[in-house]
Structure 1
Amino acid sequence: MKKWIVFIASILSLCCSVGRAGDLEDGIEAHYKGNDAQALELLRPLAQEGDAAAQFFLGRIFVKTGSVPNYQEAVRWYRLAAEQRVAAAQYSLGRMYAAGKGVAQDYQE
């Protein structure tokens, strides 16, 4: 009986992680199609759970959203992804510091 419980728990955890990967892909696709509202809805929960790719794409969305970007929010998400060694996030965060967008301009940071 104990083996069955472990087996079922393993299958359920696999199903949950596959669903999350689908949300990530769907969120990224929505972003590239210009549907940032849907992208935010799909990516934000993943980013809050620590998914580095979702964090990076949230940063992108907040930089490019509408006519009034939210640079401070973009910096927040880029920083979280950069701390997980996402090179694109590190680069994007560096550009934010160089331009002084969402943070004080700092060429050393």
Structure 2
Amino acid sequence: MLNPHFVGWEPMYHWTDQKIRVHALYCVMALTLAGLLQREAHRAGLELSLEAIGRELSSICEVINLYAPISGKAGRFRAATTYTEPTPTSSRLAEIFRLDDCKAR
């Protein structure tokens, strides 16, 4: 939590009181979420910084390829979902944070 740029107050491009309050709320929510992620990883035995957690989670990518219907036939496009090859740490984080529940079905 020593990196002031991980979850920061700036840049803030707002001038009205209401928008500044909402911006502050988003910043506090982001900081709270980051702390909860780090705490859950710590409870599961992973001693990672917020930057490391963010880097590992950013390495998880989902690609959905759409394939046209068989030629000459009308119909819906077929979708095929693939994921990047996970690292052991990103796999463990996905398990801890139950990210499988978010996968496309």
TM-score (norm. length: structure 2): 0.32
Query: Higher relative CO (CA 8 A, sep ≥ 6), structure 1 or 2?
Result: 2
User: Which structure's CA Rg is the greater one?
Assistant: 2
User: TM (normalized to structure 1)?
Assistant: 0.31
Please identify which structure carries the higher strand content. Answer: 2
